[in-house]
Homo-oligomer: A and B are copies of this chain.
Amino acid sequence: MSIALTPLEDKLIIKVSEPETQTASGLYIPDNAKEKPQQGEVLAVGPGRRDDKGERIPVDVEVGQHVLFSKYGGTEVNYKGEDYLIVAARDILAILN
Oligomer copy total = 7
Instruction: Scan residues 50-83 of chain A and give those whose CB is less than 8 A from a CB of chain B.
Output: 50-55, 57-58, 60-61, 68, 70, 75-81, 83
Contact partner, A78, options B29, B44, B86, B92, Cβ 8 Å: B29
Is A33 in contact with B75, judged by CB distance below 8 angstroms? yes
Residue ID in chain B nearest A65 by CB atoms: B6
- Tell me which of B6, B29, B61, B81 contacts A94 (CB under 8 A): B6
> What is the chain B residue whose CB lies nearest that of A53?
B51
Mark A residues whose CB is within 8 Å of B: 4-9, 11, 13, 26-30, 33-35, 37, 44, 47, 50-55, 57-58, 60-61, 68, 70, 75-81, 83, 86, 89-90, 92-97
